[in-house]
Amino acid sequence: MQAPSLSISCTDANLQAIAQSLAIKLVLPYAELDPQQIQLVVDNQHIEIRAPDLGNPIFIDFEAGKNAHRRQFGGGRGQPLAKAIGLKKGATPTVIDATAGFGRDAFVLAHLGCELTLVERNPLIATLLSDALIRAVNNSEIAPIISRMKLVNQDSVSYLQQLATIDYPDVIYMDPMYPGRDKTALVKKEMQLLHQLAGPDIDSEQLLTSALTTAKKRVVVKRPKSAPFVGAQTPSTKIESKNTRYDVYITF
């Protein structure tokens, strides 16, 4: 698959210096707005990604929308994700989200009290996450949640391999990309964009192997309900919801 054409732009001349600085940081060209390109665009409200055929721009907002809804109505520690991670009375594990993506599951876990390290290797997605975290810090209602979320822009396998033993987390969480089928919830514009930017997921097995030697208590792999186990490795247990399965590998 040929890598998509990428550039940095802005919506206001007053933001050009910020956009150009970001272009230097990401080693990408600065360009005028172009609807035929995938562009990281600096706007007055946030940083967003615009891409052909994907409708409205994509940005991350921990203060409103889906993240706010999950925070308020997600089911607390009784929801399948929390159970899979091992959240229970008297137990709030430290977590590395090794495939952070748009940070939704990480935000839920941070809301429930976990200390999170979000590892995202794609620099554009990491930029959106960083922008969202910075904006959310100024919201007093969710600032305590955001303070439990630390972002790392790095390949997860490399990050785990160089991690000092003292910094090993209780839990490593993985949500590897899975080829979506038409008419499923996976084929949304955000997932299409992730597939375009990141390409095929070819290192899930390697990541699981690294995670199993690093997590002090468990590794949790999120999968579509009918998907095969990563690397054909049978988990210790499974927790299922309507469309999702959490494969839990106990490591202690």
Ordered per-residue pLDDT tens for the chain, 252 residues:
445 678 999 999 999 999 999 999 999 999 999 988 899 999 999 999 998 877 788 999 998 766 654 555 455 778 999 999 999 888 899 999 999 999 999 999 999 999 999 999 999 999 999 999 999 998 999 999 999 999 999 999 999 999 999 999 999 999 987 655 444 443 566 666 766 676 666 789 999 999 999 999 999 999 999 899 999 999 999 999 888 999 999 998
Residue 71: name the closest of 114, 101, 116, 107 by CA: 107
Q: How many domains, the chain? A: 2
For residue 39, what pLDDT is reported?
94
Same-domain status, 132 and 238 = yes
Assign 66 to helix, strand or coil.
Answer: helix
For residue 179, what pLDDT is reported?
58
Length of the chain: 252
Burial 111-120 (b: 16+ CB within 10 A, else e): bbebbbbbbb
- For residue 59, being part of any structural domain is answered with no
- For residue 1, being part of any structural domain is answered with no
Assign 40 to helix, strand or coil.
Answer: strand
CA 167 – CA 204 distance, rounded (Å): 22
pTM of the predicted model as reported, rounded to 2 decimal places = 0.89
Q: Give residue 16's domain range.
A: 6-50
- For residue 58, being part of any structural domain is answered with no
Same-domain status, 87 and 209 = yes
Quick one: 35 exposed, middle or buried, by C-beta within 10 A (0-12, 13-18, 19+)? exposed
Assign 156 to helix, strand or coil.
Answer: helix
Same-domain status, 25 and 128 = no
Is residue 174 within 8 A of residue 222, CB to CB? The reply is yes
For residue 163, what pLDDT is reported?
97
Same-domain status, 72 and 196 = yes
CA 40 – CA 97 distance, rounded (Å): 24
Is residue 217 within 8 A of residue 250, CB to CB? The reply is yes
- Annotate 207-237 with DSSP letters as a single string: HHHHHHTT-SSEEEEEEETTPPPGGGPPPSE
The kind and range of the H/E element at 72 are helix 65-73
- For residue 83, being part of any structural domain is answered with yes
Residue 5: name the closest of 25, 28, 33 by CA: 28
Q: Residues near 202 by Cβ (< 8 Å), separated by ≥ 6?
A: none
